[in-house]
């Protein structure tokens, strides 16, 4: 397992360039590169939950998501259930602090979920005038 920084050193590129290329790869491919940060779920890079939830939003079945991401079905279901709970609360205009209290998830995790919700369900964030 290598980190982005280790790949950058090996390939004589900046970490920013390697990160950009990895993001491009993830957008165009179904599989996940087994980088150290991803495998160990460390840092602020592409997270398990982001990849799992993007597949979920693309209507991929949870068993297939588990297989593609090398996760247990139980872990995939947990990410999906947490995401759906946050989406439900966001639809009801509950603020982040209350969502944190109601779900037991941290603000960083809630923000990650909200970012995905905004990408796939922008209509939730529009006001009555469609703005």
DSSP string of 84-104, one letter each residue: HHHHHHHHTT--HHHHHHHH-
User: Residue 62, Cα to own-chain centre: how many angstroms?
Assistant: 15
Mean pLDDT of the 54-75 span: 92
Q: Break the chain into its structural domains and give their ranges.
A: 1-46, 47-131
Mean pLDDT of the 55-60 span: 95
pLDDT at 3: 79
Phi, psi of 82 (to 5 degrees): -60, -45
What's the length of the chain?
131
pLDDT at 44: 52
Residue 129: band (very low, low, confident or very high) from pLDDT cuts 50, 70, 90: low
């Amino acid at each position: 397992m290598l980190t982005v920084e280790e790949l950058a050193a090996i390939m004589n590129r900046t970490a920013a360039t390697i990160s950009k290329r990895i993001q491009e790869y993830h957008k165009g491919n179904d599989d996940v590169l087994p980088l150290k940060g991803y495998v160990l779920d460390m840092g602020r890079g592409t997270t398990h939950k982001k990849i799992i939830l993007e597949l979920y939003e693309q209507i991929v079945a949870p068993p297939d998501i588990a297989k593609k991401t090398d996760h247990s079905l139980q872990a995939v279901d947990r990410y999906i259930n947490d995401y759906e709970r946050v989406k439900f609360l966001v639809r009801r205009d509950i603020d982040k602090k209350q969502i944190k209290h109601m779900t037991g998830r941290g603000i960083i995790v809630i923000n990650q979920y909200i970012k995905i919700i905004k990408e796939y369900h922008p209509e939730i964030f529009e006001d009555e005038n469609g703005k």
